[in-house]
Amino acid sequence: MQETADRPLIDPFGRTITYLRVSVTDRCDFRCVYCMAEDMHFLPKRDLLTLEELDRLCSVFVGRGVRKLRITGGEPLVRRDIMHLFRSLSRHLASGALDELTVTTNGSQLARYATELADCGVRRVNVSLDTLDAAKFRATTRWGDLGKVMAGIDAAQAAGLAVKINAVALKGVNEDEIPRLIDWSHGRGMDLTLIEVMPLGEIEPARVDQFLPLSLVKARLMERYTLDEIDYRTGGPARYVRVRETGGRLGFITPMTHNFCESCNRVRVTCTGTLYMCLGQEDAADLRAPLRASESDAPLEAAIERAIARKPKGHDFVIDRRHARPAVGRHMSVTGG
């Protein structure tokens, strides 16, 4: 019998929380220039939730009406024994309690895990890829190997996974390459989503120099392509158009130039069990303490309810051009992509 959520999580603005993004690690095998400092200091492993704790936490959210679960990082597929978590969570797909179990990855480990992910009920993956130029890719990721990512995408598609490409629009880096990314993605039957740089965490380059407004990108693309508005949503914040010339979908995630908070149905949990009700706010709730304090889920549920009651109407993203400070001090790899 299909499980149902008797008491859905509803925030103060009447939005029902149906989408949970869970970071399973702050570690990554890349050091993307807009996401991490090169010399990152990672969390002690004792601070991280165990795979069993992550499973329990996710299951409580599923029991309260979450229908979509995305596993993120850092790079989630570098977490040791991560497939144990996917295999365990797949029971919620089988029961009908969960509509979708998915993952955001840099693609470096996909060749190894694609078939197993598909066996666990994962039907689509998001792959972060900002450039198709191998030298530029190495420079942007610092440590990445484009060949491994391409092999991972091949393996994912061979396993029957739908692949969506996420590309961060970076001024002076890949802005001239966006049409190539569109043609390549759509040529392989993959959606492409463009994302504005988000002001999260202290990193070396001045983020104000990286910021490229997608309104400008879209205007440029309209000189080359016909972009037809479509009513398509994946549960996330992207707004999609169909590129008439390629037949493919192109998404825009614009936290800086267009606030998409009015329909936000998402919350995020970090690998340490910290619940962020909004990516662009510092307010958070500790779920690790109630999780570890009792074998009963009641304290954990109570902590979640109190947190959702504080979910804000919108984020505070802004790039501080005077002081080159991030709007939020934590890195994206800590919160989960």
Binding-site residues for S-adenosyl-L-methionine, please? 34, 74, 128, 198
Taking CA atoms, 289 is separated from 50, 294, 333, in Å, by 13, 9, 22
What is the CB neighbour count within 10 angstroms for residue 321? 11
SS3 assignment, position 274:
strand
Taking CA atoms, 40 is separated from 35, 105, 151, in Å, by 11, 19, 27
As annotated, the binding site includes: 21, 28, 32, 34-35, 70, 74, 104, 128, 164, 198, 261, 264, 266-268, 278
- Are 302 and 329 contacting, i.e. CB atoms less than 8 angstroms apart? no
CA 121/CA 113 separation, integer angstroms: 13
77 has which bridge partners?
Answer: none
DSSP string for 185-196: HHHTT-EEEEE-
Token pair 């996710």: residue = 58
**74 preceded by cis ω (within 30°)?**
yes
Q: Half-sphere exposure of 171 toward its Cβ, with a 13 Å CA cutoff? A: 13
CA 210/CA 75 separation, integer angstroms: 22
- Are 77 and 110 contacting, i.e. CB atoms less than 8 angstroms apart? yes
SS3 assignment, position 91:
helix
Query: Nearest to residue 193, comparing CAs of 168, 218, 161?
Result: 168
Query: Position 322: which residue type?
Result: R
Token pair 């104000």: residue = 208
- Between strands 100-105 and 124-128, the pairing is parallel
